[in-house]
Amino acid sequence: MKRFFSQLIIAITILLLMVVILWAFFLRSPVIVKTDLTYILNPGTTVKQLAQDLHDQAYLPYPRLFRWLAKVRLDEYHLKTGAYVFQVGSTAGDILDQVVTGKVVYYPFIIVNGWTYQQVMTKLQNAPAVKHTLTHLSAEMIARKLGEPYPSLEGLLMPNTYYYTYQTSDLDILRFAHTAMQNYIQTAWQARPNNLPYKNYYHTLIVASMIEKESAFEQEKPLIAAVILRRLNIGMPLQIDSTVIYGLGSLYKGHITHWALRFPTPYNSYIRYGLPPTPIAMPGIPSIQAALHPAQTDVLYFVAKGDGSHVFSLTLAGQRTAIRQYQLNKTTHEKK
């Protein structure tokens, strides 16, 4: 009898030792062994389903052990939904750590300086992992959802990189950019000089958007702002090509023709006086600062040199000289 119990104890000890070895092997063995695995943990996903998915999509040979591990760690009912990337070398414990603490993937959404509202919306429509809620709404309706009374969010979204998680709504992403612009422009507007002709910060954004489209050179922006404001002050048409292009929309084919300069859109600053009705792009901070702090100069004209920079002139005679020097035989209309 004693021999039987001795053998039984030895067998149980060996069995327990095998279980411990198997458990230790399981805990230390990578579940992700070849490439990183992107996994969407949807609402309602259970530990059982997660274990089965890891068995099917990665290398989890014992799904039941994964479920036991989650029970032992009290993780079973604390999984957080979202998109995850399980990296090569991740063990079962590493994966549970991720999904319990919510270390989800953050996707970047970039709004580039000078992008139009339409470009932003096209980019948003094609952005990965976004929950689309605005597909059938007009630009004006979307603006209303963010509390804006204007025809669209043109000029009202701050260029920057915004990070969002899986199934963040398109409206929330726009709200990030809209809030960033509001926070910045409200502060900048309060610190503006007293001699500016703008009635409100929206007018600032209109001018800033023109500056943004006219030059990428930060040192030129205050000079372009000065030209725009001086033309406004003396009652001269702004004659800004980028407003003409914006007004033409899909009719613009890459060249500003004499027909285009006469085409009657609300944005044709060759035939209409004053500011265009809305911004024409999303201005960045340097353009906004230039609109609020224009150069102290009497320049009234500028002409593109062909390398992205411009020549500025005080007089029409100086402008004509610059045109002859830089624009002679050009096929595009680039006079400002």
Which of these ranges, 6-20, 29-43, 145-159, 254-268, has the smallest mean pLDDT?
6-20
Q: How far apart are alpha carbons 224 and 214 in whole angstroms?
A: 8
Phi, psi dihedrals of residue 225, rounded to the nearest 5°: -60, -40
Q: Which residues, in sequence order, are bridge partners of residue 130?
A: 168
Per-position b or e across 247-262, b if 16+ CB within 10 A of its CB = bbeeeeeeebeeebee
Q: Average of pLDDT values for 161-167?
A: 96
314 or 97, which is more confident = 97
Distance CA 42, CA 301 (A): 59
pLDDT in tens, 107-126: 999 999 999 999 999 999 99
Is pLDDT of 333 > 60? no
Cα–Cα distance between 176 and 120 in angstroms, integer?
Answer: 13
Q: Which amino acid is at 108?
A: P
Burial class (CB in 10 A: 0-12, 13-18, 19+), 69: buried
- Model pTM? 0.85
266 vs 44: CA distance, rounded Å: 52
With a cut of 60, say whether residue 331 has pLDDT above it. no
Which superfamily does 29-101 belong to?
A: Endolytic murein transglycosylase (3.30.1490.480)
Over the stretch 226-258, which tens digit does the pLDDT of each residue have?
999 999 999 999 999 999 999 999 999 888 888
- What are the residue boundaries of the structural domains of the chain, listed by start? 29-101, 107-186, 193-326
- pLDDT category at 157 given cuts 50, 70, 90 is very high
pLDDT band at 17 (very low <50, low <70, confident <90, very high): low
85 DSSP 8-state letter:
E
